[in-house]
Every structure is written in structure tokens, then in C-alpha cells.
Amino acid sequence: MKKKNFQFPEAHGPRLDSTLIFLILSYPMAPRGGDDLDDDFLIDVDLALDADDGLDDQSRPPLPRLPDEEDEFILDTHPEEEQWDGIEDNTPTENDGSNDKKRKRKEKAKEKRAKKRKVAEELDAINGSQNNLLSPEEISSYLASMQTKVFKDMTQMELDDILIPTSSIIDTSSYTGPRTDETLPDFINSTLPQLATRIRQKPKHNGSPTALIISGAALRVTDLTRSLRPMKGEKGGEIAKLFAKHFKLTDHISYLQKTKIGVGVGTPDRIGKLLSAKDALQTSALTHVILDSSYQDTKRRTLFDIPETRKEVFEAVLGQGPEGSMGGKALMQLIVKEKVKLVLF
């Protein structure tokens, strides 16, 4: 549609003063509803001011500048508010790697717990080894006090009959270092050199170890077994891990019947049952029984502090008391005759 130029009529009164025109043009007009003018109506400013109003060009007030196409219109937006530009933001967020972070935190926590457990075991080994620093006579008295706790119905005469002879106990008080799973090989090399030599030799018969190590916890058995394996060298027999957790008794019996082992490491109940089982754990080559009395569990209890394991040591392994195992009784006879030596680690 063609634009219309507005012209001020001269036939109806005097001309409008240029100042009045200026004010009209510069005053912002807000729309107040509809009117009869076209939507694209424009005022021809040059034509409106073309009349001779008695003012020269210098005396006329400046006209307000109208915006042209090159003017930039800046919207009044809040700078702190982000404007969406229609482009998806694929930048990785913190939640994208949350699983990896959780896994790393768990690994670090696990490492810290392992370190704390290791330090605690070393401290406990030092504290728990106080009984091991005793002489054979003092160790025999200590074991007698443990027997009294297990066999409460026995008379003193009966308890005297089952005392472990002092001559059957090896003195290891010269070893003053901590007694942990890592120091067990050094302990054997230092205090039991003949046993260390036998561990490196090839056994003659299946299921006939040269040593039995009795510990109260399956986890401790695993750690001791792992530490001893390098001692056997190329010719030595297997270091057998013998405890009830995850292993059936029949599986252990079958394993011993077809395997030459140098050392059997296990819990007292499982060792006692294997000693009593037919053609399972043999004592023909046995020279040492090591009681892991320095290890303390999470409640700071040793092998002889826990009522269950204390009872199993004397009844299942050593065959003492009215409920003593048959295999344990045979082993105890070897200890009394000093054919098998007893050691506290």
C-alpha cells in the first residue's frame, strides 16, 4: 500500500508554529485504541516544516533523530539469566561420572581399611606375643590354665594327667619381632631351622605333612598359607589350606589322599576331623604343631580367648578330655613322647 504524506491545511486558520510541530513530533504517543488512519501512515516531516514560519535554519530547534535501519536495538535483558539459543548442551556433567567416582571412593576406602587392619594386626601381634616370649615352663603353665577353663568338671588329678610336658615345647622367646603372617617364614627360619629344611624337601607320602599350623580364623589361615608358599621352593610339598568355610570335609579328604603336602594350615575343628578321618591327614612325617596364639580377631581375642576355638584345640587337635577325637589322641601321644614338638607362634 502506498504511503500517504500528511499536509497541514492552510485554509483553516494560521500556520502551525514550528515549535509546536516539534513538540508534537517529539512527544511519545501511546496507542489509545484504533483510529481511521492506515497502519503504515507516516508524517512527511519535511513537507510539514517547509512553510515560511519566520525562522531561519540556525534559529530552528533541532529535530529529534529518528532511528534508521542501521540502528541497533538492544533488548533489556538480565545478564545473569542465560538465554537458551536452541542448541543442546552436551557438555559432560558431574553426574555423568558418578559411578566412576563412587567406585574410586570404594576402592580408596577398601585400601584404607586394609592398611588399618594391617597396622592393627601388627600391634595385636606384638601384644599377643607376650605369652610366646615365656619360657617352656611358663608356656606349659599357661596351657594348663586354659585346660582348666575347658575341662571344668575334671579334678586336679585328672588335669595333671593331661598336662603338656615342658620338654615337648620349643623355646622361641629369642624371636622378639612381631608375629604376623608376613613374618612367619622368618620366624621358622630363625627359631626352627630343621623345620625350614624339611619344608623345602619333597614329602614321601600323600597327606603326610611335616608341620601343622592351627589358627582360629579362616582369613588368618589364608594369609599364613600365602606367606608360607615361597618357602617350599621347587621340591617342597604343597601348603594345604584346611578350613570348613567353602570346603566340604569330603573334598579335603580326597585332596589329602592324592596330594603330597609339606604343611597343613587350618582351623582346629577341621584339622581334628581330618586327623580322625581314615587315610586323610597322616602323622607319620609330622615333627611340629604350631599354635597361632598371637593373632587377635576384630574383638582382640586370641586362639585361646575364644571359648569355641580353645575347646577345639584341646579336644579336636590334642584329643584331650572325654570328647577328645581319636586322631587327636594319637597326636597327643606323639607330643608326650617328644616325637612331635609344640610351638607357640
Nearest to 219 by CA among 120, 312, 297, 116: 297
| Torsions phi, psi for 280 (to 5 deg) | -110, -95
Give the burial class of 181: count Cβ atoms within 10 A of its Cβ; 0-12 exposed, 13-18 middle, 19 or more buried: buried
Q: What is the pLDDT of residues 268-297, one digit of tens each?
A: 999 999 999 999 999 999 999 999 998 998
Mean pLDDT across the chain: 79
What are the tens digits of pLDDT across the range 125-143? Answer: 444 445 557 899 999 999 9
What pTM value is reported for the model?
0.64
Determine the Cα–Cα distance for residues 174 and 124; give it in Å rounded to an integer.
19
* pLDDT at 95 > cutoff 90: no
Torsion 232-237-242-246 (CA) sign = positive
Taking residues 200-214, report their average pLDDT. 96
